[in-house]
Amino acid sequence: MNKIIIVFVVSLFCPLLANAGTIVVAADHSDLASLSKSEVRQLYMGNTNNAGGYKVKLLDMPEGSTLRKSFYSRVAGKNESQLKSYWARMIFTGRGTPPRQVGGPMEMVRSLKADPHALGYMDEGDLQPGVKVLLRLP
Contacts of 102 (CB under 8 A, 6+ apart): 59, 60, 61, 62, 108, 111, 120
> Is the pTM above the cut of 0.95?
no
pLDDT < 50 positions in the chain: 3-18
Predicted confidence (pLDDT) per residue in 95-111, tens digit: 999 999 999 999 999 99
Give all domains of the chain, ordered by start, each with its CATH number. 20-137 (3.40.190.10)
The total of other beta-carbon atoms located within 10 Å of residue 24's CB is 25
β-strand 50-51 against 131-137: which pairing, if any? unpaired
Predicted local distance difference test score (pLDDT) of residue 9: 42
pLDDT at residue number 138:
84
CA–CA dist 37, 137 (Å, integer): 8
Given this model, what pLDDT does residue 20 score?
A: 67
pLDDT in tens, 39-57: 999 999 999 999 988 999 9
Helix (H) or strand (E) holding 100: strand 100-101
CA nearest to 24, candidates 72, 84, 63: 72
